[in-house]
A = this chain, B = another copy of it.
Amino acid sequence: MHPFVETSEIRVPDALIDQVLGQHEARDIIRQAAMQRRHVLLIGVPGTGKSLLGQAMAELTKVEQPEDILVFPNPEAPHQPSVRRVLAGHGQAQKAAHQTRAYRANESLRMLIWVVVVAIVLVSVYFAVRDQALTYLIGGGIGVALVLWLRRYMLASPTVSIPKLLVQHPAEHAPFVDATGLHAGALLGDVRHDPYQSGGVETPPHHLVEAGAIHRAHGGVLYIDEVSLLGLDAQHHLLTAMQERQFAITGRSPGSSGTMVHTSPVPCDFTLVLAGNIEDLEHLHPALRSRIRGYGYEIYTHESMADTEENQWLMARLVAQEVRRDGKIPHSSAAGVQAVVEAARQRCGQPGKLSCRFRELGGLIRIAGDIAIREGAQLITAAHVQRALTWSLPIEEQMLPTAPQRDENL
């Protein structure tokens, strides 16, 4: 292990992929998959760094042509709004241009109507005064009333023709979208319900269209953890979206007026990173898994690593990373790191191995840090980590009668 006195001396790499600990092979595969834009299936116990691998992949993904996606009204078929792609950053400008044009056209029409009204009034008053006849005034009044009544049909709400900015992509980096546990509408896009669907008070259908996670991940990474929470139906749609690289949006709540709206296909060229436990594999649609096997990589994230000097050094880096990320706890002494390494040894349960459940170890480090803060200590010491060990036991172990005495009053 490189010598150090406290973890503040340890440099944490900036790139997410270099912050991945313990999973050397997974790291290399993710690098390669990001370069070639391949799908990835990550299987392993919780807290071994699957989510970090997914985020790192998005960071490594090159965006060649970032796009914004706009949805326009379709005058021929109002319930089939049309979708257009523009270069990233141009979406807002296009929308604003349409907005200005619509408001200006509206303003001109409004002005024209007032000119007509004033003209009718002047002409009828002139003739009424000249001929001393009431008839002209009554005729003029009827004319004005007619124009004003027609006005509300002619002045359509200006929003009708303004496109909606469906997805706004960042220009610099590929998007990372976490779609874990989303219901079908949020994953695949949805069209909201409009209770007033006629009579001039309805919202134009294209304004009701909402992008799904698959569309927001266009050009980047779509990360779905706990794949067992995804229904077979949603998995099938996901498979279609992966194959076609575009997916039309329609209303997904039964009984909603949105089900009548169906957009033209919306681009969704994402790289899928599916994550889960080994049990989740059973709930995976065979066609989806087959597609990943055919067009991507399957990675098993290890739950332990060899107890070598190099890996003990990784543990020190883990402590430094967690302290920096948390921001509320102090750095750790070398002895504190040794205690964390010892905890990783014991949590693993196999001789000569260290646990790779980094989220749990992160929790342990944070609790040790909290104890250090409460005691006003400048550094996390081995004693703090030992105290944290009993305070970080899962409920299930706290309930056991053999649980270590945490409370002397029991």
Contacts and interface: CB of A to CB of B under 8 A. Distances in A.
A285 interface: yes
B194 A36 contact: no
Contact of A194 (B135, B260, B407): B260
B359 A193 contact: no
Contact of A24 (B35, B47, B366, B407): B407
A406 B197 CA distance: 60
A6 interface: no
A362 interface: yes
A298 B394 contact: yes
A233 interface: yes
A47 B290 contact: yes
Contact of A181 (B180, B236, B253): B236
Contacts of A194: 257, 260
A132 B134 CA distance: 10
Interface string A384-407: 000000011111101100000011
A110 to B, nearest CB: 12
A228 to B, nearest CB: 10
Interface stretch (A8-16, A139-147, A332-340): A139-147
A390 to B, nearest CB: 8
A69 interface: no
Contacts of A79: 203, 207
A310 interface: yes
Interface stretch (A38-46, A215-223, A265-273): A38-46
B38 A366 contact: yes
A87 interface: no
A225 interface: yes
Interface residues of A, number: 112
Nearest to A194: B260
B391 A297 contact: yes
Contacts of A306: 409-410
A321 to B, nearest CB: 13
Interface string A302-318: 10111010110000000
A239 B295 CA distance: 32
Contact of A135 (B129, B239, B293): B129
B374 A226 contact: no
Given A46-B286, A197-B201, A285-B181, A132 B132 contact: no
A24 B133 CA distance: 99
Contact of A302 (B33, B299, B329, B407): B407
Contacts of A43: 395
A29 interface: yes
A179 to B, nearest CB: 10
Interface string A349-371: 00000000001101100110111
Interface string A193-205: 1111111110100
A141 B144 contact: no
Contacts of A175: none
B374 A32 contact: yes
A35 B181 contact: no
A52 interface: no
A133 B266 CA distance: 65
A183 to B, nearest CB: 6
A308 B255 contact: no
Contact of A287 (B198, B226, B328): B226
Given A33-B370, A295-B363, 8 more contacts: A36-B369, A37-B328, A132-B133, A135-B137, A193-B259, A196-B197, A298-B395, A300-B398
Of all A-B residue pairs in the complex, the 4 with the closest CB atoms, nearest first, are A300-B398, A198-B201, A181-B236, A294-B359
7 contacts: A36-B328, A36-B329, A47-B294, A192-B259, A196-B257, A208-B260, A299-B398
